[in-house]
Structure 1
Amino acid sequence: MSGRRPAPVVTGTVRPGWEGVRDAFARGQAEDPGGAQLAVRHGGRTVVDLWTPGTGRFGYGAVPDGGTGARGAAGAHGACGAAGAGGACGAAGAGGACGAAGAGGAYVAESAGGATRAGSTYGADGTAGAGGAAAANGVPGAATGHARRTGAEAGGDAGTGTGTRSGSATGSATGGQALRVDSVGVLMSVSKALVAVCAHLLIERGVLDPDDPVARHWPEFAAAGKAETTVADLLAHRAGLPAYTDDPAGLPEALLLDPAARVRALAAMSPVWDPGKAFLYHAHTYGDLVGEVVRRVSGESVGRFFAREVAGPLGLDLWIGLPEREEHRFVPQRAVRPDPTPGQVAQAVERAGLVPDDRLATSLRASSAELGRATASFGTRRGRAAEFPAAGGIGDARSLARLYAALVGRVDGVRLLSAATVDRARTPRTDHLPQPGALHRLDGPDRSRFGLGFELPRPGAPLLGEGSFGHAGAGGRLGMAHPESGLAVGYVCTAMAWEPSAGPDPRWMPWTDAVRKAAGLGGG
């Protein structure tokens, strides 16, 4: 025995000229114990549609379906729950000043009711061996919808199949549920882009303006010094509300699972810094801040608005609140390392230069606790059904790619946003601002960059290069687009492995480079 590990099984299709992406995806997943999906569209057409069930070699937190394991205090993108993309803000400074934990120590989810389809197989042409359930709002189910929409069948627009048979649809080396062609999973902070799209639809329709005071649409929000806070402040993480409470223990679970209670808490809160004068990643509160504006303007929750206005017209398997009939498709995410304890988070906040009883310090600790509870809830039916707009979106890579493709061009006749709206959304809104309080001393070249609701490229999350926009999520999920090239990409994974303080996720880099090369953008 040489000790050489076998290459991951990669199944799916690529178009001619994009074969290098398949090989790069396999290299990127070679050490990943979890499963992953990668979908790429170019000029609105599917060119890559791949997935792998993973190696199954979890060294931490690997428990059979139905069990529970480490429950995460890690925030979207980094330790302390308020860290920005790449750990560049919050308690984690650029370069990992926090050090308490990398993103990815989130939790081991409970099984989605144990409803796996034993024995089903998925061949190289990407078609399912068993029928999928119908999605919400009349969106076709996986077995019928995915093949029609993505060309994953032989003769579809993804070209000839280049994958290999993945074998059984259930089971893994750890007893977990393997990723399948029709699987969906938690998107973590990739979900924030779904919320941003809803806001931009209302902006484009003229019923909302980024410069509007939030209180114009949500009068209760004017309390406690927030009368001048704008919609743009919410979208760009400038609102000064990174947590729901000043209690470092965070909002109790009973209130955290109640959307109305979360909104009431935010309306009553006074900002931790002057809105618009600094920025800090709002790991969980972002979804309720922007989502409540969407609700006040549209008359329906952000999850329902997204389903009707975005997912329905495009035929997406993306939800903010998973319908019960889709539970059989859910695959849990898994931790690859333990999470920081509350004490470790507190120490990390102090190491960042914050006085323990300072409001910013307590907000960071509260955000960590709140996001940990929310993330743990995604291992339950109640948590998946609830609308946690900032981190609780559920879907697959194909739908992410299709969504982003419809932001920068037409997909089956549907374009969601105009080019002017996309340009406004990807215009930098935080490059000129410091992080609040003592955290400004941690500013560096890899700090977070935000437009209106989307992340912008930086060394730790380069996306598709200059001009691209998108959003990463804790553990390594990623959705993004590059308008000038017509590229749109979705990547979904089950192992919470990305450590933002160490730079880009190693799983991304091979295929990101290959995608750029295939699209004529050059590598690197």
Structure 2
Amino acid sequence: MTSVQGSVEPGFEAVRDAFGQAQAEDEGGAQLCVYRHGRPVVDLWAGQDPISQMSWDAESLVVLMSVSKGVTATCVHMLVERGQLDLDAPVRDYWPEFAANGKADITVADVLSHRAGLSSFDAESGIGPDEMNDWSTCVAALESMSPLWQPGTAFYYHSLTLGYLAGELVRRVTGKSVGDFLAAEVAGPLGLSLWIGLPEREEYRVAPQFTRERWLGPADIEAVLVKMGIDVSGRLVRATLATLATREDGIEMLNTRAGHAAEIPSGNAIGNARSLARLYAATIGEVDGIRLLAPETMERARQTQTDGLRSPAPFDVIPVTQRIAYGYENNRPARPMLGDGSFGNPGTGGRISYAHPESGIAVAYTCTNMNGANPEAPDPRWLPWTAALHEALA
């Protein structure tokens, strides 16, 4: 069992032991923080940074990958609560240029629930890792796109595009980028070490992410699709394979200063477990007098929007496993949270953060060693402490 630093409240000792067990064979660093009813009850870290040899502790920062989507969604729902955005309104009401090429009826709800038909940039768009750092280029590409399927009729994970779509809505109604809004309205008031667009002064705290595994690349996925009889020449398939290629190269880009400084709200938020758990705690209750989302806002935000929908053709032959709410994901076997009612987001490589309002719990786990194992199975590092947390709450 690896050495674990930090503290737990009485009754959560088994969570500390399980976290140590989970990290025993992990080469990198990890953090685990749990809030209950607005107070931290678990605050742990373990491991080291084998890449840069930087010190590793609770205040270290990591790139959060798709955990960033939940951070962005929280900003959007704050604006919904203030009446500045309406989930049922067409995106064009706030962003007129978006209506081009068959997108006039796409709603804010469609965007947040991955039903907008814009799951990837077109393969011919030229959007790669470097272009992801250019907000105007990505927004212009989305404005000129036609949907990859009839919006609202199917859903497919908007892995890269969701952040630009949601972030541009934030910019249109507030005049602030999503990173500036996060800093002013969320991170500042709550005292979080959490950014979308990291200031250079905080760069020294970021531990690089790494992996020793070979991940399935676009060529591997294409071969699988061909074996399944799926035509890989169609627009949606080509766009999806291009996204996989961009993600593969983008993981390295996100270890650079340019990748930290940019605003890529789908994947480059930077923070730590303490800050993520505190943020989610403030979506379901008060944290030191601050609550980000009113109960009715939170209740609507976590309602699943994709049950009964399939993936668009030709991916409709693949079983659907994700359950998507408004910008958040819901509990499912591959992403075990704390049961029904949980909402949050996992991130590529093993990060995860979520809240479970019924128990008053908010959880965040971060790591530097990116586990590229089966994306339809839970990260094995989550299982011991998740089980121990269930028992502690029981």
TM-score range, shorter chain: over 0.9
Answering whether residue 62 of structure 2 is matched by residue 205 of structure 1, we say no
1:209-248 mapped onto 2 (5 Å cutoff): 209-247=86-124
The alignment-based identity, stated in percent, is 50
CA deviation after TM superposition for structure 1 residue 313, in Å: 0.7
| Alignment correspondent of 1:71 | none
1:45 aligns with 2:12: no
Look up the match of 2:210: 334
For the 8 Å contact 2:231–2:314, the answer to whether it is kept is no
TM-score (norm: length of structure 2): 0.96
Deviation at 1:250, TM superposition (A): 5.1
Bigger drift between 435-444 and 285-294 goes to 435-444
Contact 2:213 2:372 in 1 (8 A): no
Q: Which residue of 2 aligns with 1:505?
A: 379
1:467 is the counterpart of 2:341: yes
> Judging changes above 3 Å, is the alpha-carbon distance between structure 1 residues 46 and 267 closer, same or farther for their aligned structure 2 residues?
same
Structure with more of its chain in helix, by fraction = 2
| SS of corresponding position for 1:275 | coil
**CA shift in 2, pair 1:301/1:349, >3 Å:** farther
Q: For residue 38 of structure 1, give the secondary structure of its aligned residue in structure 2.
A: strand
Alpha-carbon distance between aligned partners in 2 of 1:458 and 1:499, rounded to the nearest angstrom: 17
Evaluate the alpha carbon distance shift between residue 498 and residue 376 of structure 1 in structure 2; reply closer, same or farther with a 3 A threshold.
closer
C-alpha separation in 2, matches of 1:253 and 1:421: 35
C-alpha distance in structure 1 between counterparts of 2:132 and 2:352, whole Å: 26
Shift of 1:254: 4.4
Letter in 2 for 1:191: S
> Of the two, which has the highest radius of gyration?
1
The yes-or-no answer on 1:490 pairing with 2:367 is no
Q: Distance in 2 between the 1:494 and 1:179 partners?
A: 10
Q: In structure 2, do the counterparts of structure 1 residues 408 and 500 end up closer, same or farther at CA, with 3 Å as the change threshold?
A: farther
Offset of residue 182 of structure 1: 1.7
Q: Tell me the CA shift for residue 48 of structure 1.
A: 0.6
Q: What are structure 2's unaligned runs of at least 5 residues?
A: none
Deviation at 1:498, TM superposition (A): 4.8
Of residues 244, 259, 270, the one that matches 2:146 is: 270
**1:401 aligned onto 2:277:** yes
**Cα deviation 1:49-76 (Å, max 9, x = unaligned):** 00002596xxxxxxx53xxxxxxxxxxx
2: CA distance between counterparts of 1:209 and 1:374? 32
Secondary structure of 1:517's aligned partner: helix
- Aligned residue for 2:241, secondary structure, equals helix
1:126 alignment counterpart: none
> Quick one: structure 1 residues 435 and 417, their matched pair in 2 at CA, closer, same or farther if it must change by over 3 Å?
same
Structure 1, residues 157-196: CA drift from partner, whole Å, max 9, x if none? xxxxxxxxxxxxxx3xxxxx35223200000000000110
- Alignment partner, residue 15 of structure 2: 21
* Matching residue's letter, 1:408: I
Deviations 1:98-144 (A, max 9, x none): xxxxxxxxxxxxxxxxxxxxxxxxxxxxxxxxxxxxxxxxxxxxxxx
Per the alignment, in what secondary structure is the counterpart of residue 334 of structure 2? Answer: coil
TM-score w.r.t. structure 1 length?
A: 0.73
Q: CA deviation at 1:336?
A: 2.4
- One-letter amino acid of the structure 1 residue matched with residue 371 of structure 2: A
What is the deviation of 1:348? Answer: 3.1
Contact 1:263 1:288 survives alignment (8 Å): yes
- Residue among 320, 327, 340 paired with 1:453: 327
* Partner SS state of residue 188, structure 1: coil
Structure 1: give runs of 5+ residues left out of the alignment.
Answer: 1-6, 57-63, 66-170, 172-176
Assess, with a 3 A threshold, how the Cα gap between structure 1 residues 425 and 498 changes in structure 2: closer, same or farther: farther
Change (3 A) 1:498 1:39: farther
* 8 Å contact from structure 2 (residues 215, 372) kept in 1: no
Are the equivalent residues in 1 in contact too, given 2:58–2:272 (CA < 8 A)? Answer: no
Contact 1:472 1:479 in 2 (8 A): yes
* Distance in 2 (alpha carbons) for counterparts of 1:472 and 1:422: 19
Decide whether aligned partners of structure 1 residues 210 and 367 sit closer, same or farther in structure 2, where only a CA change above 3 A counts: same
Kindly indicate whether residue 381 of structure 2 is the aligned counterpart of residue 387 of structure 1. Answer: no
In the TM superposition, 1:506-521 aligns within 5 A as 506-520=380-394
SS of the residue 1:296 aligns to: helix
Name the amino acid aligned to 2:382: W
Q: Distance in 2 between matches of 1:465 and 1:340?
A: 30
Secondary structure, counterpart of 2:317 in structure 1: helix
Residue 502 (structure 1) shift:
5.3
Alignment of 1:12-411 (within 5 A): 12-54=6-48, 64-65=51-52, 171=53, 177-247=54-124, 251-411=127-287
- Residue 480 (structure 1) aligned with residue 357 (structure 2): no
Shift of 1:317: 0.5
Query: Match for 2:338: what amino acid?
Result: L
CA-to-partner distance for each residue in 1:228-270, whole Å, 9 max, x for gaps?
A: 00000110011111222233x8514443321110000001001
Contact 1:378 1:384 in 2 (8 A): yes
- How far apart, in 2, do the equivalents of 1:200 and 1:380 lie? 30
Once residues 324 and 55 of structure 1 are traced to their aligned partners in structure 2, the CA distance between those partners, rounded to angstroms, is 20
* RMSD, aligned CA: 1.6
Q: Any idea what SS the aligned residue of 1:479 has?
A: strand
- Alignment CA distance shift 1:205-1:495 (3 Å): same
